[in-house]
Amino acid sequence: MSASRNLRIGVDVGGTNTDGVIIDPTRSGEVDKGIVAWHKAPTTSDPSHGIADAITTMFKSASVDSSSVASVTIGTTHFVNAVITRDSSRLSSVAVLRLSGPFSKHAPPCVDWPVSLKKLILAHYALIKGGLEVDGNLISDIKEHEIVEQCKIIKDKGIKSIVVNGVFSPIDTVERQEERAAEIIKRELGEQVDVVLSKTVANLGFLERENAAILNASILSFARKTIASFQSPIKKLGLNCPVFITQNDGTILSGEAASRLPIRTFSSGPTNSMRGAAFLVGKQEHSEAMMVVDVGGTTTDVGLLLANGFPRQQAAYSELSGVRMNFSYPDVKSIGLGGGSLIKKTGGRLQVGPESVGYKLPEKALVFGGDVPTATDYTVASSFDVSIGKPEKVRGKLSDDDIAAFKSETKDMLERIVDTMKTSPEDIPVLLVGGGAVVAPDSLKGASRVVKPKWSGVANAIGAAMARVSAVIDTVKSTEQQTEKEILADISKDAKQRAIDAGAQAESVEIVEVESLPLQYVANKTRFIVRAAGDFDFSRAHDFVDLDVTKAGDDVATVTEDAQDAVAPASTKDTTDEDDTTGEVDIVAYRPKIINREWWISETDLDWITIGCYILGTGGGGSPYSTMLRVRGILRAGGTIKVISPDDLKDEDRVGCGGGAGSPTVGIEKLSAEEMMDAQNSLQELFKGGRATHVIPLEIGGSNGLQGLVLGASSNMNVPCVDGDWMGRAYPTKWQSTPVVFGEREIVFAPVCVADGNGNTLYMPTATSDLKVEQIIRSALSQMGSSVGVADAPVTGDETRRWAVEHTISLSWRIGREVARARKENRIDNVAESIIDAVGGPETGRVLFKGKIVGVERKLWNGHVYGEVIIEGTGAQHSGKVKIPFKNENIAAIRMRDGEEVETGQERNEDVLAIVPDLVSVIDAQNGEAIGTPEYRYGLLVLVIGITASERWTSPKGVEIGGPNAFGLNHLEYKALGKFVKPVSVIDEYEGKA
């Protein structure tokens, strides 16, 4: 490539405007930042016309020669709009083949999707042999005849898009099961079909990866046509250069790669603005974290630009149009403030937004001769430096008091959202960009400085033009032969090479993200996530000049957008009544169904119990999400699930127990088969003590809190589930349970039966102690896929009444109801206080801390993940820092003294806010959901609550088994957080009131 070919073009095709910019990166250090030309115009119905117009206009205004252009990078909302609007003309039907053997049968594809979207896209699915264990061993190999049989069905149904999803496929580098299955499909159905391998779309997390792969497959044909329509004007203008598409993390994909992975572009808009802002202030300044505030016509988007130049990403899961996925999205919060925000008085108080005139600003605003007061009008009236429309229409005509109130309210709105997004109490630089940035003040509380860079109105196009190249590796490796440091070095080297292969300049590539997550109960295994990024190597641009991305068999379909809307027109099919409406339940009026002192569980009950179980899990127990899907499936299939109070047990009743054991990381990838019932059925055959008449959960915390509902369902054991459990929370080991605390039997948990769901069952009729049962089961785990179902021999009704932590399903229900109510009533700021009310009020529970996670450390020892999370306070009431040590579950909340670095083992009793056996739970401040210890991430906004443990745990024996000494904190003493209040039974409260 000649030295003169150095210009980059960025185009952002938005719902309202198409922005363009031409940049000379060799001049980025100059005052004008190397910006040769820029253009903003309304988006055209055919985006190719808008792109051509933008580039042509810029070429003319700056006398640019097409031969000097090195690349064109485009940001677009086209693909995401097709999903949001359920547009059947753009979404193809999809078949899903799972390589999972018996696993995942209880959570079929699209199980958690909105009904209308599922009906539109999912046309066929099958579970066939295949899949890996976490250690790389086979669950089973793929069977060619099964795949061939499915291909015949797919062909008969006329489906052209197929997703292949294998258990643990992201770590499958040896068996290559997804790749081999794809080869068979292409052989049987021809090259014209699209086959999407889940491992190429997203990382670990079976359902979430599959969801992303299905959406990606559905949009492929439309994506190819759209990208071709982007390439067409580039070629017609004589630009012999590659066309790139920006993706969610602020980096680029070639047109060819984007045509294969369009889902990676779904949320590139906010990222482009943030990257553009970083470029405008120069590399010198963004060596520190900065807050980017993008003020548009209707909303203000706020995100944190990290010191590495990339946006902070959301936590583990993201959601689009009701579909849960697990790949990176920028963590952006929005408020209803923009240049078009309506200004009105309510009760004598001036209100700014959230309603807006949006794209109609040029005709509705006062300064343009309209009759609607907007934020732009008040800004022009308040500042002679801002000249928009006809200033004389507002200056001197709006009252000084109203202008002062507008400026105060706008400033307050921005300060609140900036404070919410900060990760430390220190002031942080704030960059104001976007077409509506003029409405923002020049200073903000919490900002070390407020910068409004020139050309900020086209920051999104600048971000597109200057986007980098990246690669990410998410894998599980053994630490047996290599140290973690050595493994990270190898993975980092591989990630850098992948970035170079994708087009990055070798010397510019750097590692921008590293995370290691040890897997509990999996010997010497750690999950590593490494991301590398670098600048595009324009000396190799000819390697990326776009070929025809369309494919034989692509139908002709529209690629137009409605220029007046942020999204495309929806499908004409009426789906109003199809989508789930369980979220619309009247929470205050709702009454659970109680018949003859039996609580018949509904989907609403289940939703609330699920939320409560994870909060009571105190960081452990694993997410109950996939188990909730299984229970919901039972209910939707017509099954019944009943819960009874332990008070109603007869002395002679036989109460069985069951649950899962293993690593939560395995649980998110290898979804359940029939291991729970396999264990129960085998126990019933081998144990001669009689069949269980009831079941009780082992622990209410986390996923196991719902296993009693699974086992007791009419389609399984068909017995009532007892409203209680053996822990009142989640503990890392089975012997940390109330039957062992009471010590009335020499051994409680033998006989015991363990099954892996894949045909392997272990029966242990006797043991020398409950601790030995635990040790033997843990040893067997590694040979049984690191995830098993466990069945315990029944105990009597009389023993259950004495031993059980009572009414914990009721407690979970109450906690979940309060979280749901806080969300519905927009009281999420007070959700922690609502949870405290649900557990018995301030004498039982307490809000211990509110803040942001600023540090996480983890290490694996004896199968358990040990570590600590450090949280920095927000606001005067919660200042300083708190650390929470954990062993799978949270152990304590300990205040850290200012300027003092106290090593573990040296903490003081007076600094303890709460400690086991009391419960310490970390809650997501954005939605009220629990955050498990594997999900702790830097920057998450959290609430920490403490709940006094049941009296079953506060005896000397209880504290010995479940208190500080049991976790190695011998230097700290247990002091009860408050007074335990026994949870009120839902049955007692609502009997006869339905």
Beta partners for residue 764, in sequence order = 752
The per-residue pLDDT for 559 is: 46
Per-residue DSSP letter, 646: G
Contacts of 632 (CB under 8 A, 6+ apart): 603, 606
State the virtual CA torsion across 469, 473, 479, 485 in degrees, nearest 10. Answer: 10
Q: 441-492 pLDDT, tens per residue?
A: 888 988 898 888 888 888 889 888 888 888 888 888 888 888 888 999 999 9
Per-residue DSSP letter, 138: B
Is the pLDDT assigned to residue 902 strictly greater than 90?
no
Q: 373-415 pLDDT, tens per residue?
A: 999 999 999 888 888 888 888 888 888 999 999 999 999 999 9
Region 360-380: what's the mean pLDDT? 90
Cis peptide before 354 (omega within 30 of 0): yes
- Mean pLDDT is lowest, of 555-569, 677-691, 715-729, 740-754, for 555-569
The per-residue pLDDT for 284 is: 47
CB environment 101-124: b (16+ within 10 A), e (fewer): bbbbbbbbbbbbbbebbbbbbbbb
The per-residue pLDDT for 562 is: 38
The per-residue pLDDT for 133 is: 92
The per-residue pLDDT for 857 is: 83
Q: 141-194 pLDDT, tens per residue?
A: 999 999 999 999 999 999 999 999 999 998 898 899 999 999 999 999 999 999
For residues 252 and 244, what is the distance between their CA atoms, to the nearest angstrom?
6
Is the pLDDT assigned to residue 1 strictly greater than 60?
no
Phi first, then psi, for residue 31 (nearest 5°) are -60, -40
Is the pLDDT assigned to residue 641 strictly greater than 90?
yes
884-to-91, 436, 896, 972 alpha-carbon distances in Å: 46, 42, 10, 14
The per-residue pLDDT for 992 is: 79
For residues 947 and 979, what is the distance between their CA atoms, to the nearest angstrom?
9
Beta partners for residue 864, in sequence order = 861
Phi first, then psi, for residue 377 (nearest 5°) are -60, -45
Q: 787-796 pLDDT, tens per residue?
A: 999 999 999 9
The per-residue pLDDT for 553 is: 55
Q: Per-residue confidence at 523, pLDDT binned at 50, 70, 90?
A: low
The per-residue pLDDT for 576 is: 36
Phi first, then psi, for residue 427 (nearest 5°) are -60, 150
- Per the CB < 8 A criterion, the answer to whether 350 and 378 are in contact is no
How deeply is 876 buried, as exposed, middle or buried, from its count of CB atoms within 10 A (0-12, 13-18, 19+)? exposed
The per-residue pLDDT for 4 is: 61
Contacts of 849 (CB under 8 A, 6+ apart): 871, 873, 878, 882, 893, 913, 943, 944
The per-residue pLDDT for 757 is: 95
Phi first, then psi, for residue 67 (nearest 5°) are -70, -10
For the chain, first and last CA: distance in Å?
77
Q: Which residue has the higher pLDDT, 525 or 715?
A: 715
Q: 752-785 pLDDT, tens per residue?
A: 999 999 999 999 999 999 999 999 998 898 889 9
Q: 306-350 pLDDT, tens per residue?
A: 776 667 766 667 777 788 887 667 777 778 888 888 998 888 888
Please name the residue that has the structure tokens 């979970």. Answer: 812
Q: 199-245 pLDDT, tens per residue?
A: 999 888 999 999 999 999 999 999 898 888 888 888 888 888 888 89
For residues 255 and 549, what is the distance between their CA atoms, to the nearest angstrom?
8
Q: Per-residue confidence at 966, pLDDT binned at 50, 70, 90?
A: very high
782-to-134, 137, 188, 522 alpha-carbon distances in Å: 9, 11, 38, 6
Is the pLDDT assigned to residue 283 strictly greater than 60?
no
The per-residue pLDDT for 930 is: 96
The average confidence (pLDDT) of the chain is: 87
Region 485-509: what's the mean pLDDT? 90
- Mean pLDDT is lowest, of 274-278, 378-382, 701-705, 860-864, for 860-864
**Start-end of H helices in 237-312:** 255-260, 268-285
Q: What is the CATH number of domain 7-83+228-333?
A: 3.30.420.40
Q: Per-residue confidence at 5, pLDDT binned at 50, 70, 90?
A: low
Region 877-882: what's the mean pLDDT? 86
Instruction: Identify the sign of the CA torsion 770, 776, 778, 781.
Output: negative
Fold type of domain 834-967: CV3147-like (2.40.390)
Per-residue DSSP letter, 507: G
Region 599-607: what's the mean pLDDT? 98
Is the pLDDT assigned to residue 582 strictly greater than 50?
no
Instruction: Identify the three-state secondary structure at position 775.
Output: helix
Instruction: Identify the sign of the CA torsion 102, 106, 107, 111.
Output: positive
Contacts of 327 (CB under 8 A, 6+ apart): 201, 202, 203, 212, 248, 263, 264, 318
Q: Per-residue confidence at 699, pLDDT binned at 50, 70, 90?
A: very high
CATH architecture, domain defined by 87-215: 3-Layer(aba) Sandwich (3.40)
The per-residue pLDDT for 557 is: 41
The per-residue pLDDT for 754 is: 97
The alpha carbon of 206 is separated from its chain's Cα centroid by a whole number of angstroms, namely: 13
Q: Per-residue confidence at 82, pLDDT binned at 50, 70, 90?
A: confident
421-to-211, 267, 869 alpha-carbon distances in Å: 28, 18, 19
Three-point CA angle 898, 904, 909, nearest 5°: 70
| Upper half-sphere CA count for residue 116 (Cβ side, 13 Å) | 20
For residues 472 and 531, what is the distance between their CA atoms, to the nearest angstrom?
4
Query: Tokens standing for 303?
Result: 């995100």
The per-residue pLDDT for 773 is: 94
| Upper half-sphere CA count for residue 118 (Cβ side, 13 Å) | 15
The per-residue pLDDT for 546 is: 54
Q: Per-residue confidence at 570, pLDDT binned at 50, 70, 90?
A: very low
Helix (H) or strand (E) holding 607: helix 603-616
Region 98-120: what's the mean pLDDT? 95
For residues 321 and 323, what is the distance between their CA atoms, to the nearest angstrom?
6
Picking from 822, 881, 894, 809, the residue whose alpha carbon sits closest to that of residue 852 is 881
Q: Per-residue confidence at 572, pLDDT binned at 50, 70, 90?
A: very low
pTM: 0.82
Per-residue DSSP letter, 402: H
Query: Tokens standing for 380?
Result: 């022009």
The per-residue pLDDT for 315 is: 60
Helix (H) or strand (E) holding 478: strand 469-478
Three-point CA angle 435, 440, 444, nearest 5°: 140
For residues 613 and 811, what is the distance between their CA atoms, to the nearest angstrom?
9
Q: 10-37 pLDDT, tens per residue?
A: 998 876 678 899 999 888 778 888 899 9
Q: Per-residue confidence at 123, pLDDT binned at 50, 70, 90?
A: very high
Is the pLDDT assigned to residue 300 strictly greater than 80?
yes
- Mean pLDDT is lowest, of 504-518, 688-702, 894-908, for 894-908
Region 252-271: what's the mean pLDDT? 83
Q: What does R_g of the chain's alpha carbons equal in angstroms?
A: 29
The per-residue pLDDT for 199 is: 94
The per-residue pLDDT for 545 is: 63
Is the pLDDT assigned to residue 882 strictly greater than 80?
yes
